[in-house]
Amino acid sequence: MPAPLRITSEKFGALPIVNHFLARLRLLARLSRGLPSTEAALTFEKVLGVLLRNLILDRGPIYGTEAWVLPFSPDLLDLTPEEVRLLNDDRGGRALEALFDADRASLLTSVLIDAIEEFGLDLSELHNDSTSVTFTGAYPEANGGLLRGKLTIALRRSAQNKDHRPDLKQLVWILTVTADGAVPIHYKVDDGNTEDSTTHRETWDTLKVLTGTSDFLYVADCKLCTTGAMTYIHEQKGRFLTVLPETRKEEGAFRAWVQEHAPAWQELPLTDGETAHGESLPRWKTTEAPERSREGFRIVWVWGAGKERRDQLTRAELVRKAMRNLEALDKRLQNPRCKIRTRDGVVEAAEKARG
């Protein structure tokens, strides 16, 4: 008599796509060679492979890894059914400790070189930014000292916490991506009280080594706009693009100049995508400032149609709000019980209503 049929349901999700790119990067093979060996029934690289896929697809907690894995076909996670049953948070922790003990710098460099060669990444323009990652808890070992021969990151409190939680500890996460598809090619984690503007020299030096040239365009926000950072990159024959902070005198000088002069705006041509969507009017214009920065660098001012529309809407709303406030003040002044009795009091109230 034939055995009864059983229906087994297994989940695929986006794992085949993730596995395709992991294979092209040869990432798991790199982990296998870079991690210390173990006699455990489940190798470190297999556990880290599961954690990595979870991070990409779900970002679930380590203690929930076993439950997350169960619906999937085991072979999609490079596991056997027996190995699935071995997964738990203890194994996840030990695998992460093995990764901490490994030569992560060399591992990351080899993965990056593979990615550049495999996908033909364009490294002529690189974009850098940083943010803070906030933690709750004590984390006494994350003090900037050595742990098992490895330097740790110091979790610090900072008044500039970007989550607006200066009471909590944080670290500073610095990431550089390509303009070609926003592919990450370099990251660094710094102590929580690190000032963003101080990180650019080291980052640029690293990128110079990775690209093998200084002739790439380094793009970053206004934290790059310091005399030290810009001059350093220029002296190394590098190129950069940054934003001029409003606190710089050059910003006020241009605003004063434009009151009495007509800038020679140059329209930027529409992109193919903008033309395809029926755009006909220019969205961007640029003009070079009449004077360079105090360091001698060019300053280019940019006009954007979108910002102009937003500014017009903002001004219109401010006018409407002022009119409503002034009408309310007028009714208030008509009331015999109004306490505003003097001309100066009326002027002060009107100024406050105008906003």
The encoded tokens of residue 266 equal 């140059």
Lowest mean pLDDT among 160-169, 177-186, 210-219, 319-328: 160-169
Q: In whole angstroms, what separates CA 159 from the centre of its chain?
A: 20
Please give the pLDDT value at position 200.
96
CA distance 325 to 180: 50
Q: What is d(CA 191, CA 349) in angstroms, rounded to the nearest whole number?
A: 49
Q: Is the pLDDT of residue 317 over 90?
A: yes
pLDDT tens-digit readout, 285-301: 999 999 999 999 999 99
Q: What percent of the chain has pLDDT over 90?
A: 61
pLDDT (0 to 100) of residue 59: 87
User: How far is it, in rounded angstroms, from Cα 283 to Cα 269?
Assistant: 8
Check pLDDT > 90 for residue 305.
no
Q: CATH top-level class for 123-241?
A: alpha beta
Residues 6+ apart with CB under 8 A from 63: 89
Q: Give the residue extent of every domain in the chain.
A: 15-105, 123-241
